[in-house]
Structure 1
């Protein structure tokens, strides 16, 4: 079966990136919040839409994983793209500023569409690139990170869509764009023939005695009965929670710290905005690719150990970095880089530990950790912010990530 003719697997990479660029819409939510606050929304209301979107994303990804085999990856990705596009399109057509309407259509429905489509490029990519699982996963999810910057800039300083066309029309434009990109990318989302392997893969694997692979292919129910799942899950909760908390505070906290150091409000806002929109966002996308490549060389467990150790220390030290422009940029870069690494490393350690064949069904359960972290991380940051103690939020989050560093060291391949 190894030598049978198939289509160029490079198209899988192209389709995966195109899909994930559209799905990165969820991280672009902050670009809409100033207009919504002008329309009478509270800050809490804007964060509810983001939180519901994250939770919906994680929950519906579990459902999508169960349907991956019966529906097929192409149909599943198309379904997700249409649902995501309709959410934004209808939100725009209904005016774009009613809280309940936007909460349901952008938060719940939009998150559902992302959850349906997100797992497809990861599962398909790993099947086409068993020799480079870290690389393909990193490339696939990098689109998600870079997509956030693309949609923020098009709505704001690059395309001025909100300024020129208004919020509701921008929602409509984005709805069409998201659906179209996922549908086009979905054309290349199909699994290779049963038993297919890239040329030379078996010989290459036999030479890699230092990187044992699991021969197991556990089902989701079997995986949920293994302690390894819970060690990986908790590590992801702590790492994702710290990153999502940092995203929520990456402008507000540095602005406060910079102003306390004597910088004007206008300058502090510009510096903090650059830290988030440029340094954090670019590092977030690059981290997904580079951590994936690193893990192909060092192995997943060691890579996650390094990533979480660096992240935990950086998040704790960020309280001393936020008030200095250069150190702020360094801190934002490191936090973004390691946050992005989560999305390349946790799918691949799931495949390595429980088997690559069922990663499309198994990873959504691991990814629920992202939803848990997406609730507790931002809430912790918001509560501490209300108490005017941002530093404590970063210290607690950083310490939790370091606990995850310890937990991941106990992960071993399950025995048959």
Structure 2
């Protein structure tokens, strides 16, 4: 642990790591080219993405103790090795046309690298920014949401000029170098470290913490509360809806609006930008309106957008709706660690965050599978939009219940304090 490290450079290092692993969100640009060159159908190609997100969620959920024990630097280096190897191995699998190997490299090996790389900088930045919780968690995952912004047009360019296998070789090597550079500077602050403003204004710190955190619970204690399961359902649906779009964004844009593949690839790339903007923007805004209110806003926006999307044939309007959903998708991720701190305290935030991310693993299967299967059977996306509109209504109801539950817990705590006094 090094006290002399600049926490803003730590943030940049975290973003560099996440920019690489966030390239998974550009996966839809590979679907049609792989289908055309190797013959694997869209549903089969989507399996690798689904497996990658599943292993991302599961490894993030259960590798938290490993990251805390070994530190973010070593964890980041391991992530770089696994994710780089997974991407390069995926290219080799395409070259020899071995689908099982492709899923193993991209989905399993790369997915584990994704999970370790995701949680290492998140937990570290939360420790470096105790004074700006929402902003910190937004920065921590900004790069992840923005990864597709760089990868999508770059992958499109490479596939048009070299083979698909070579595209994976080149990208895998670039990811490895960028992740090594980012991981090398990562380090947690010393025990008990606080920024200067918190050291000189400790009186203001205490009421802020008391007003923000409902309780200080362990991970196992959090599992006994209604709040944990409401949060899990909210995250599962928010992630499923976002990943559903990310998995088939290019194909969906072409099918519904009749846009060209080049335009669709651009849309996918810009989606990454709005994913990233949503993470930093909504997370910072949640510091002012509260995380419970923020999630209600997320689901109201997405409900309206999902109802409108299948009827929107104008390319510009279709893109705007996708971008709006992406800000909510990214914002949901960015607000999550801060919301966990609000609900359960920071005693075991990393472990509770890991438990909650199992929703990501499940959503990584449910979202892409649902949209791919309905499209293969019907040739259109309307049925998928109906399904996810219903799910988003359920999520909105859960978010409202969460707000009611928080209010009740606060009232009970106030009553107990008055009785004790």
- The residue that corresponds to 1:407 in the other structure is 398
Deviations 1:64-122 (A, max 9, x none): 11212222222112111111112223333453642111110111100010111111111
Q: Which residue among 15, 26, 44 is the counterpart of 1:17? A: 15
Q: Distance in 2 between matches of 1:98 and 1:242?
A: 30
In structure 2, relative to structure 1, the CA distance for the partners of 1:43 and 1:193 (3 Å cut) is same
- Residue 292 of structure 1 pairs with residue 283 of structure 2: yes
- The residue that corresponds to 2:113 in the other structure is 113
- Residue 325 of structure 1 deviates from its aligned partner by 2.8
Q: Show the 5 A alignment for 1:311-390.
A: 311-321=302-312, 323-385=313-375, 386-388=377-379, 390=381
Contact 2:28/2:247 (<8 A) preserved:
no
Q: For structure 1, which runs of at least 5 residues remain unmatched after alignment?
A: 260-266
Contact 2:50/2:369 (<8 A) preserved:
no
Q: Which residue among 384, 396, 409 is the counterpart of 2:387? A: 396
SS in 1 for 2:196: coil
- Residue 381 of structure 1 deviates from its aligned partner by 1.8
Q: Show the 5 A alignment for 1:219-368.
A: 219-259=218-258, 267=259, 269=261, 271-278=263-270, 280-321=271-312, 323-368=313-358
- Residue 124 of structure 1 pairs with residue 124 of structure 2: yes
Q: Distance in 1 between matches of 2:323 and 2:140?
A: 21
SS in 2 for 1:31: helix
- Residue 172 of structure 1 pairs with residue 169 of structure 2: yes
SS in 1 for 2:187: coil
SS in 1 for 2:189: coil
Give the root-mean-square deviation of aligned CA atoms: 2.4
- The residue that corresponds to 2:72 in the other structure is 73
- Residue 7 of structure 1 pairs with residue 5 of structure 2: yes
TM-score (norm 1): 0.88
May I ask how many residue pairs the two structures share in their alignment? 400
Contact 1:77/1:183 (<8 A) preserved:
yes
Contact 1:312/1:400 (<8 A) preserved:
no
- The residue that corresponds to 1:198 in the other structure is 195
SS in 2 for 1:302: helix
Q: Distance in 2 between matches of 1:409 and 1:64?
A: 32
Q: Show the 5 A alignment for 1:51-70.
A: 51-70=50-69
In structure 2, relative to structure 1, the CA distance for the partners of 1:8 and 1:275 (3 Å cut) is closer
Q: Show the 5 A alignment for 1:131-142.
A: 131-142=131-142
Contact 1:250/1:272 (<8 A) preserved:
yes
Q: Distance in 2 between matches of 1:210 and 1:357?
A: 14
Deviations 1:334-360 (A, max 9, x none): 111111112101222112222224222
- Residue 149 of structure 1 pairs with residue 149 of structure 2: yes
Contact 2:57/2:360 (<8 A) preserved:
yes
Q: For structure 2, which runs of at least 5 residues remain unmatched after alignment?
A: 417-421
